Amino acid sequence: MSALVKDRFLSDCRRELLQLHAVLMQELAEAAGKESQQGHLLVELRACEEAIKRIDIGSFGRCKICGEAIELNRLKAEPTTSCCLSCSAKQG
């Protein structure tokens, strides 16, 4: 992947994650009083924030377990993912 394509991919992901973050904050506000739903939303919110942080520090797209590049399609489908397909499969 060229640097330009990568930059564009990262900024697309970042924008998507920021949108997701806004949606999750909204859902969290609407889920007031529903603890189990809030817990689930908080987990997603945390994953979203961590993904944005990984973009900012330049480790986005690297598996946190084996350090290999995460499949591009996987990242596109789920930008909050932090490990590659095979590590994720091993984790169950």
Using CB under 5 A as the criterion, which residues of the chain lie in contact with Zn ion when the complex forms?
63, 65-66, 84, 87
Toward Zn ion, which CB reaches closer, 47 or 63?
A: 63
Report CA-CA distances (Å) from 74 to 37, 50, 57: 25, 17, 20
Q: How far is the CB of 26 from Zn ion (least distance, A)?
A: 32
DSSP H helical ranges for 1-92: 3-30, 35-57, 72-77, 85-91
Q: How far is the CB of 67 from Zn ion (least distance, A)?
A: 7
Toward Zn ion, which CB reaches closer, 13 or 63?
A: 63
Q: How far is the CB of 8 from Zn ion (least distance, A)?
A: 24
Sign of CA dihedral 75, 79, 83, 88: negative
